[in-house]
Amino acid sequence: MSGCSLMANAGEEKEKEPVKKENYEKYEADIETKVEKFDKLSIVMHYPETPNDQIDQTVLDYVNEQRSEFKKDSYERVKKKGISAVQELHIDYDVVYEDSATYVVKFNETVTWGEKRKAFDETVLHFEKSNGKKLSLTHFLRSENDYEEIRNYLERTFERKLSEKELNGFTYEGDAFTFFAGNQSVRVNKQEHPEWFKEKFMKKRSDMTERPGSFHAEKEITEIPVTEKMLEEYPVAVMGGPHPKRTEEILRVLEKNDRKAVFFLIGKRVERYPAAVEAIKEQGHAVVAHTWNHRLPERLTEKKESEYRERSVNLLSSITGQQEVLVSGDRVSPEKALINRPDWAGESEAWVKEQLVNSARSNGQLVVSGLNENTPALLREVLLELKDSGSREKDTGREESGAERLAGM
């Protein structure tokens, strides 16, 4: 491996088989999360990974374009306007509609560059499941004449002309289409205009694929902020996750090396992968309600921050059965160790390993990403190196170091 990064990126190596028709109904998508933390930039992108490579490529092109534009705009804000505050790009998503043939995803884009400077946008992508083709409005219509009929109908309703971009800025919801123009929206029910739509879209569709259930607390839950002393008991910190594959691999490494870790978890991912959380607890590791979707806390209103925290805490309590749930604090979080790690992307695995070992020796704590595909292998090698170095230090009669505590000597 010529280069290695230890930032959060999930599932890039996954190989997919072509989707067979009988599997369209079981279109379970994984959650992909990319996190890049720099001194003055925070980039967090959540997006789906489906069984269709073409859909995944289109989605990846979209998020990479958003990332590229954000970094360019950030540079301009610093250069021309002297912006010194941390700038944030956050992309989240919801599957707003899905049936056996169609997959509709809405992305929510948030950009902030100061306490009161922010911008919001939404992007809705429609896909055909069978071939991964990105769908426009014409895909649903009988003819070009119907396209013009809808245009005329909408322009009369909105009382103004619509651009092609606005006309295709719709959301398909199964029974209806919703169109947007500025702050206005119009819902067009298919049954009220059957003459416009292709026959196959007039057939009754199955309900949306069942999503992960909501978890509600039945008893009062006590939130316990993480302290430095607590972290000393779990000198390995795993940031992000859970992940359907990566978490299991990390747990195997920890078990083999007889080490305990504290897992700082993302609520959105916990909701999708509760079994991975159960596996963490079964092996005696600690779990922390770290964040719901990785927004910068200082850019959230107190109400929204409290809502996210309560949602994450209730979710973890419901899965683990704990009435006392660890929560991240502003002052105590190993996440700071991930700052600027995106710069490691072009470095060799040996170089990255050396940085992790040095950091663990100086801080007495090894901080790794719970999502990166390189983490399990690096974790195994770093723990071995720390164990060997800890043995050497112990033989010399030195005072116990952070590395020795980490290695369990």
Looking up residue 381, the CATH number of its domain turns out to be 3.20.20.370
In a domain, 94, yes or no: yes
Q: What is the CATH number of the domain that holds 166?
A: 3.30.565.40
Do 44 and 187 sit in the same domain of this protein? yes
174 is a domain residue? yes
Provide the pLDDT for residue 216.
Answer: 53
For residue 91, is pLDDT > 90? yes
Which has more confidence, 166 or 397?
A: 166
Q: Are residues 183 and 249 in the same domain?
A: no
Residue 363: inside a domain, yes or no? yes
pTM: 0.84
β-pairing, 324-327 vs 286-291, is: parallel
Is there a single domain that holds both residue 288 and residue 333?
A: yes
Cis peptide before 235 (omega within 30 of 0): no
pLDDT in the model for residue 20: 46
Q: Do 260 and 178 share a structural domain?
A: no
Domain-located, residue 74? yes
Query: Residue 186: pLDDT band by 50, 70, 90 thresholds?
Result: very high
Q: Is pLDDT above 80 for 108?
A: yes
| pLDDT beyond 80 at 211 | no
pLDDT of the residue at 65 = 97
Cβ contacts of 270-274, under 8 Å, gap ≥ 24: 270/242, 270/312, 270/315, 270/316, 270/319, 271/212, 271/215, 271/315, 272/30, 272/31, 272/212, 273/31, 273/242, 273/243, 273/244, 273/247, 274/212, 274/319
Range of the domain at 235: 222-407
Residues 288 and 367 in one domain: yes
And the tokens for 381?
């090698």
Q: What's the pLDDT band for 13 if we cut at 50, 70, 90?
A: very low
Q: Which residue has the higher pLDDT, 144 or 20?
A: 144
Residue 50 has pLDDT above 80, yes or no: yes
Percent of the chain with pLDDT over 70: 82
pLDDT tens, residue by residue, 337-354: 777 777 787 788 888 888
Same domain, 169 and 262: no
22, pLDDT greater than 90: no
Residue at which a domain ends, from 172, 201, 230? 201
Say how many domains are in the chain: 2
Mean pLDDT over residues 83-93, rounded?
91
Query: Per the domain annotation, does 360 fall within a domain?
Result: yes
Domain assignment present for residue 48? The answer is yes
Asked if residue 336 has pLDDT above 60, the reply is yes
- For the chain, helix (H) and strand (E) counts, in that order, are 11, 14
| pLDDT at residue number 203 | 64
pLDDT of 185 reads: 92
pLDDT at residue 1, rounded to an integer: 38
Task: Answer with the one of 201, 235, 255 that is the final residue of a domain.
Answer: 201
Angle at 42 between CA 312 and CA 84, to 5 degrees: 130
Indicate whether 228 and 179 sit together in one domain: no
Beta partners for residue 338, in sequence order? none
The answer to whether the CB of 4 falls within 8 A of the CB of 373 is: no
**183 and 244 share a domain?**
no
201, 236, 257 - which closes a domain: 201
Q: Are residues 367 and 227 in the same domain?
A: yes
Asked if 190 and 75 sit in the same domain, the reply is yes
Q: Are residues 329 and 186 in the same domain?
A: no
What mean pLDDT, rounded, does the chain reach?
83
Q: What is the pLDDT of residues 359-369, one digit of tens each?
A: 888 888 899 99
Would 43 be classed as within a structural domain?
Answer: yes
Burial of 237 (0-12, 13-18, 19+ CB in 10 A): buried
Kindly state whether residue 3 falls inside one of the protein's structural domains. Answer: no
Q: Identify the pLDDT of residue 39.
A: 85
The verdict on 236 and 192 lying in the same domain is: no
How much of the chain exceeds pLDDT 90, in percent?
49
| pLDDT per residue as tens digits for the range 263-285 | 999 999 999 999 999 999 999 99
Q: How long, in residues, is the chain?
A: 409
